[in-house]
């Protein structure tokens, strides 16, 4: 039987998204969440004590270079990542973050450290780390993230999905996962969306799977999995994730698996 982690990304983005993730967790649809530290209103709401108690040992860091406002002054002044107002650009061109100087990698590492420390200062017990828009799958940014993991004693990192359509993307994904493992970092055996799980139904070596979701309420008050390509009213109800799992599984969490 496979073990399944369902991680809700973007906790701390807005109070509305926080509520959706909390309700999904209480209903047993998600097992873990990862938290943004760069969105002020959402972060303040996310850090209410009753929420911290709910997510005890179920919280990860969702580092960002593409959403919100940097926490370090040096990053706010960096036009490579930020606009004139000192906020992150909302999208990162494909080639950005692939190759960077040592100075730029250190800049990103320091920003990641600040985001991690902001969450740590709230006495969250961090179990894992991933990134907004999967930016850590870019080689230079991955190096910064791994340095940050070492400096903050974070031992679990989200891997890339290697079942890509294009051959070059499969090669990059395999390199990313090799690099993560070369640092002695622990990972699941598989990562993807619930729609991709058919890829591992018959894979006996794939014992621990992580799937991500983005809980949100649509205009009719239905809890949905929000994908970037669809508006909220076009997205599927979140409980369909559970209903569509194509194999027998045991719900797990990062903390349970990687003590």
- Domain ranges across the chain: 2-257
**Per-residue pLDDT reduced to its tens digit, 128-174:** 999 999 999 999 999 999 999 999 999 999 999 988 778 988 999 99
DSSP assignments along 14-51, one per residue: -HHHHHHHHHHHHTTS-SEEEE-SS-HHHHHHHT-HHH
Inform me whether the pLDDT recorded for 228 exceeds 70: no
Q: How confident is the model at residue 193 (pLDDT cuts 50, 70, 90)?
A: confident
Q: Residues 25, 164, 169, CA angle at the centre, nearest 5°?
A: 115
Over the chain, what is the mean pLDDT? 94
Tell me the average pLDDT across 31-53. Answer: 95
Architecture of the domain defined by 2-257 = Alpha-Beta Barrel (3.20)
Cβ–Cβ under 8 Å, residues 70 and 88: yes
Task: Please check the confidence at residue 92 and state whether its pLDDT lies above 90.
Answer: yes
Tokens 């990059």 — which residue?
172
Would you say residue 59 has pLDDT above 80?
A: yes
The 3-state DSSP class for residue 217 equals: strand
173 backbone dihedrals φ, ψ, rounded to 5°: -60, -40
Long-range residue pairs from 69-74, CB within 8 A, at least 24 positions apart, any chain:
69/38, 69/40, 70/38, 70/111, 70/114, 71/37, 71/38, 71/111, 71/114, 71/115, 71/118, 72/107, 72/110, 72/111, 72/114, 74/107, 74/110, 74/111
Does 229 have pLDDT greater than 70?
A: no
Q: How confident is the model at residue 213 (pLDDT cuts 50, 70, 90)?
A: very high
pLDDT, residue 89, reads 97
Identify the pLDDT of residue 18. Answer: 97
């Amino acid at each position: 039987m496979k073990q399944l982690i369902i991680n809700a990304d973007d906790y701390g983005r807005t109070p509305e998204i926080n509520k959706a993730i909390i309700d999904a967790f209480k209903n047993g649809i998600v097992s873990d969440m990862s938290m943004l530290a760069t969105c002020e209103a959402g972060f303040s709401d996310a850090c209410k004590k009753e929420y911290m108690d709910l997510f005890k040992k179920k919280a990860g860091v969702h580092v960002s270079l593409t959403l919100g406002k940097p926490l370090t002054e040096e990053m706010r002044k960096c036009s490579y990542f930020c606009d004139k107002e000192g906020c992150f650009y909302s999208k990162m061109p494909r080639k950005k973050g692939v190759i960077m100087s040592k100075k730029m990698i250190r800049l990103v590492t320091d920003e990641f450290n600040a985001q991690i420390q902001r969450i740590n200062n709230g006495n969250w017990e961090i179990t894992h780390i991933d990134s907004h828009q999967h930016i850590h799958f870019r080689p230079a940014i991955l190096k910064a993230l791994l340095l940050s993991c070492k400096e903050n004693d974070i031992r679990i990192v989200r891997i890339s999905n290697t079942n890509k359509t294009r051959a070059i993307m499969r090669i990059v994904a395999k390199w990313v996962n090799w690099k993560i493992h070369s640092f002695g970092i622990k990972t699941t055996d598989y990562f993807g969306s619930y729609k991709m799980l058919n890829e591992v139904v018959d894979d006996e070596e794939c014992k621990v799977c992580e799937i991500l979701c983005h809980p949100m309420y649509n205009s009719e008050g239905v809890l949905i999995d929000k994908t970037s390509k669809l508006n909220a009213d076009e997205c599927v109800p979140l409980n369909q994730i559970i209903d569509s799992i194509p194999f027998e599984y045991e719900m797990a969490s990062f903390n349970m698996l990687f003590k």
